[in-house]
Amino acid sequence: KDGSVVLALWNYAPPVGTTASYTFGKPQGASKQFIVKVSHLAAGDHATVWRLGRHHGDVIRAFNAMGRPAYPSREQIEVLRQAAKLAAPRQQAVHDGTLRVDIPPQGLVVVVLH
């Protein structure tokens, strides 16, 4: 109702490994720049950007670092909860109706245009 537009941008990369269980490793592929063009934005409009990926809210990476325990301890569960938290969103300027977002392989970005 406030006129905001929400976008989800994902730089898909094929899974690492071919087995039924999750295989960890560095995602294959290159970073990509997404260029979003929107018309009818007012002067001063901006975007709020949240990131999720290998270095942002990545609980799998923390789980791997602790040796993938079958039964995590309470302390390990707390570490996983902290690792899963998203960082604060960034404010990004929209120039002439264009927003540019770089996303690494398997990265997910949620953008709110205000």
Question: In the predicted model, what is the mean pLDDT of residues 5-21?
Answer: 82
> What CATH number does residue 95 fall under?
2.60.40.1500
- pLDDT score for 15: 76
Asked whether residue 21 is assigned to any structural domain, the reply reads no
Q: Are 110 and 90 in contact (CB under 8 A)?
A: no
What are 20-59's pLDDT values in tens digits?
666 666 778 899 999 999 888 877 788 999 999 877 888 9
Number of domains in the chain: 1
What is the reported pTM?
0.79
- pLDDT score for 45: 83
- pLDDT score for 13: 86
DSSP state string for 33-91: EEEEE-SSPPTT-EEEEEEEBTTBS-HHHHHHHTT--SS--HHHHHHHHHHHSPPPPEE
What are 51-84's pLDDT values in tens digits?
998 778 889 889 989 999 999 999 999 999 999 9
Q: Kind of pairing, strands 5-10 and 46-52?
A: unpaired
Asked whether residue 46 is assigned to any structural domain, the reply reads yes
Give the domain extent around 44.
Answer: 5-15+28-113
Asked whether residue 55 is assigned to any structural domain, the reply reads yes
Question: In the predicted model, what is the mean pLDDT of residues 98-112?
Answer: 94
Asked whether residue 22 is assigned to any structural domain, the reply reads no
